[in-house]
Structure 1
Amino acid sequence: MIRLDSLGQTFRDAISITKRFGVEFLWIDCLCIIQDSDEDWRKESLLMREVYEHSYCNIAATASSDGRGGCFRSRDARVVRPCLVNMTVGGQTQRYQLIDFPVWYQMFERSPLNARAWVLQERLLSPRVLHFGIDQIVWECNELTACERYPLGIHAPLPKIQGPRAMRRFMTTPDPESAVLENWSLLVQAYSACGITKDTDRLIALQGIVRMLQDVVRSPFSSGLWMKDIERQLSWVVLSPKLARRPSEHIAPSWSWASLVGEVKLLPAHGDLLVDEVPGEGIFKVLDIEKSPGGSLTNSFVSHAQLLVRCFLVPMDLALYDWEDVSDDPVEAIPDDPVESLAESPDNQMSAPRAPALVSVNRPVRALTRN
C-alpha cells in the first residue's frame, strides 16, 4: 500500500485526473517498475509500446521539471482568451483572430518535460496526450492539436515530429515505409536533442517507437539505423560539437549517431549516388554488420560492431576546422592526386576546380584523376 501523502504533487494530481476521467488504472513508470531491479527494468522497458499505445490518455505535467511541480497552476484566465479584432479590408469589415505563432514552442516544445528523451516516445505512441502547461491545457490526438486559447485547433505550423498525429501520418500514407525512412532524420534530430538521465538508456528509450515502425518498415534495425537505408543514414553530423560528449558507457558503434550524446542531424541524400541500381556499380554499399561477441544490448541495439562495406577508395587528407569557421561542411578532404574534374557521374562532369581541390565528405562525388 502506497500512502497518497507520500507521493509528489504531480503523482497526486495525476491520480485526481484519472479519477475524474472515470478510469480505474494509472501507470506511473517509477511506481510500476521495481526500482533498482535490472531484471524488472529490462522486462518492462521492452513493453513500453504496449503500455502507451493501448493507453486511454497520457497525462503530461508539461510545465513541471520533476515530480513535485504538479499539473495545476495559478493563472490569469485572460491570458488564454482569444484576441479578436475587427479589420476593414477592401471596404469589408471582418473579425479576425490574432494568433501567436511561437506559442507552441514557448509553452511546450521548450518545456522541461518535453526536453526528456523518454517523453518523446510517450508522446508519439500514446493515442491522446493531455498537457498541463504553464497557463493552459493542451490536447493532442490523432485528429487534432488544440489548446484553451485555440480550442478548434492550433493554426501555428507544428513540428513534423510531434504528438500522436506524427505516427498516424507515417503509418497511413500510401507508402508508409518510404515515409518513415524519409522522416527518420527528423525523429533522430528531435530525439538526440533531448536529455536522458542514464546514457545506457539512450537507445532503449527509442525501442517502443522502433517496434511500432517495424510494422511497416521491412528492414532490420541496428543501433539507431535502418539497414534498408543505412548508406544514407551513416551520413550524420553533430550540430553542437562543443556540447557533445561520449557516453559514460559504450552503447553503440562509432558509425552510429547514438555513439555520441548531443543533438545530431542526418544529412540529406544527394540524388541516387549511394543507391546500388546496377550490381557492382554503387559508390558505397554496406554488405554486412559483423557483431562483436557480447556486443548486443538487445536484438535491435548492438553496442560493438563493424561494418563490411564495398566502396571506391580515394586517398585523402582530412582537414578539420572549428565549427564556427564553416557553414555546412565541418570536414573537407584533399585528394593526394591532382583532380582533373569532379562529377556526380562520368557523364555529368563539372568545371575543373583549382588545385588543390577540396571535396566535402558530406556531398558524395566521384573524383576523376589524371592518369
Structure 2
Amino acid sequence: MEEISRMGEIYEQAALTISAARAKAVNEGFLQTRHIPGERGFRIPYLCQDGEIGSAIFWKGRDPGFWDPIHQRAWCLQESILSPRVLEFGTHNTRWHCVRHCTQNRNEDSSPEFDGWIGDSRIFTRHHMSSRLVQGMDWAALKDPDVFTGTWQSLIMHYTCRGIGYQEDRLLAISAIARKMGHIAKKKYMAGLWQEDLALIMWKPSDTKHSHNNGEIRPRTYVAPSWLWASIGRAVEFPNTTLMHGLKMMDVEIKTRIPSDEFSAVASATLTIHTLAVPCRFKHASTTLWSHDLQRKLEIFAEFDLGDQYVLDVQDDGEGVLAWISAEGGLVLKKHADGVSCSRVGIFSEHFGFDQSECDRKETEVVII
C-alpha cells in the first residue's frame, strides 16, 4: 500500500511510459499486427494535380464510443495524466503524446501524433472531457477555484466510468492525481472530496450507457463513507449546485489505512454539517417519503443511490432527514439506530411541489457516516 502512494512520483519521473493500450490481459501482448475483425478498407487510384498517380484509402474506423482496453481500467488513468511522455500501442493506432509539449503550447495544435485514424469518443463528450484534461492537465490553472472544481468533477465522472477489479481500490486508484492537485492548489483532501467544495457531496449515479464499471451498486465491504461518490460501484455525475447560504462544515473525521497519509484508503469517516433540515419517514417496501408533521407524502423528487433496489435496504419503517445543500435541494439521509448519525441514501429536489410553508425547516447539525 505504501508503494501505491508513490505511483504519482514514479510516473512523473519516468522518461517514457509505454502503454499497452490494446492488450486485454497481461499475457496477451501488444506488438502483433493490428487486425480488427469486421473492419474493412480499400484503396482506389487517384490522379494528383502533378500528374502522378496516388491513391485514396477508404476505411470504416472504430465506433466513436470505442475504448481501448487500457482506457476501461480505473488504475490506468493516472499513468496517462501524470506521465510526461506516453507511447501508446492502441487497437487502431500507435500514439505518441508529450504532455509537457501540450501544456507549454496550448495555443498551438498539440494533438497527439499517431499512425492511424483517431476519432473522438462519445464518453469524453458525454462527461465534458476537454483536450486540456485528456491531452495533459493544465496544472497551473488549478489555482483558480472554479477551474479546480470543474476539473475534479470531469475527472471523477470519467474515472467512475472505468472498471476496477476491487471496489476497495476506488480511492487508491486516483490518489496520485488527487495528491498532485491538492499540492498545487493548496486544498485539503477529504477522502475523495475537498474541504472547500461541499457541493461535491451532491453527486448522483449516472445514467450513461457507455460505462465499463459494472461493480456492485453498494459494495459489500467498506469502501468509503456514504456521502462520498466512491461509496457506490457505478459511474456518477454532478448536477449544477449553488451552495445554500448558511451551510457550514462543522467537523470531518477521517481515518485512513495509513494514518500518516490522507490519500490512503479510508477506514472510517464522519462528516458533520450545519444546515436546514426536515425530518421524514421511510415507508417499508416503498421509495415514498412521509412527513412527521403532516402525516402525508412529501411532494419532492428523490433520486436514490440504489435506484429501485433501495427498498431492499429498508426492512421496516424508518426515520430519515432531508438536509438542504443548495436552495433547490439536498441529501436524503437515513437515521441509524443511535438516533444521531445518518447515512446518505440519495438526493432530492424541491422543484416538484414541496411546500416550505407547510413543513418548517429548522437549523440543525447533521452527522453523516
TM score, norm. by length of structure 1: 0.62
Indicate if the aligned counterparts of 2:19 and 2:86 stay in contact, CA closer than 8 A.
Answer: yes
- Matches of residues 75-154 of structure 1 in structure 2 within 5 Å? 75=34, 103=63, 105-106=65-66, 109=67, 111-142=68-99, 143-150=110-117, 154=118
Q: Does 1:233 align with 2:200?
A: yes
User: What value does the CA root-mean-square deviation take over the aligned residues?
Assistant: 4.2
Indicate if the aligned counterparts of 2:81 and 2:136 stay in contact, CA closer than 8 A.
Answer: no
Match of 1:58 in 2: 17
Match of 1:258 in 2: 230
Indicate if the aligned counterparts of 2:167 and 2:215 stay in contact, CA closer than 8 A.
Answer: no
> Which one scores higher on RCO, CA 8 angstroms, separation ≥ 6?
2
Indicate if the aligned counterparts of 2:141 and 2:148 stay in contact, CA closer than 8 A.
Answer: no
Relative to 1, partners in 2 of residues 1:51 and 1:303: Cα closer, same or farther, differing over 3 Å? same
Relative to 1, partners in 2 of residues 1:69 and 1:317: Cα closer, same or farther, differing over 3 Å? same
Aligned residues: 284
Relative to 1, partners in 2 of residues 1:213 and 1:174: Cα closer, same or farther, differing over 3 Å? closer
Displacement of 1:225 after TM fit? Answer: 0.8
The SS at the match of 1:369 is coil
Relative to 1, partners in 2 of residues 1:83 and 1:259: Cα closer, same or farther, differing over 3 Å? farther
Displacement of 1:336 after TM fit? Answer: 5.0
Identity across matched positions, percent:
23
Displacement of 1:293 after TM fit? Answer: 9.6
Q: Does 1:218 align with 2:186?
A: yes
Indicate if the aligned counterparts of 1:124 and 1:163 stay in contact, CA closer than 8 A.
Answer: no
Q: Distance in 2 between matches of 1:97 and 1:332?
A: 59
Relative to 1, partners in 2 of residues 1:174 and 1:85: Cα closer, same or farther, differing over 3 Å? farther
The SS at the match of 1:182 is helix
Match of 1:363 in 2: 349
Q: Does 1:298 align with 2:270?
A: no
Indicate if the aligned counterparts of 2:78 and 2:174 stay in contact, CA closer than 8 A.
Answer: yes
Match of 1:347 in 2: none
Q: Distance in 2 between matches of 1:364 and 1:288?
A: 27
Once the two structures are superposed, residues 191-212 of structure 1 have per-residue CA deviations (whole angstroms, 9 ceiling, x without a partner) of 2222223333221111110111
Match of 1:342 in 2: none
Q: Does 1:74 align with 2:33?
A: yes
Letter in 2 for 1:118: W
Indicate if the aligned counterparts of 2:24 and 2:69 stay in contact, CA closer than 8 A.
Answer: yes
Match of 1:196 in 2: 164
- Matches of residues 325-344 of structure 1 in structure 2 within 5 Å? 333=289, 335-336=291-292
Match of 2:238 in 1: 267
Match of 2:106 in 1: none
Displacement of 1:228 after TM fit? Answer: 0.8
- Matches of residues 177-188 of structure 1 in structure 2 within 5 Å? 177-188=145-156
Q: Distance in 2 between matches of 1:181 and 1:202?
A: 19
Gaps of at least 5 residues in structure 2 are: 48-55, 100-109, 208-212, 303-346, 361-369
Q: Distance in 2 between matches of 1:98 and 1:332?
A: 56
TM score, norm. by length of structure 2: 0.62
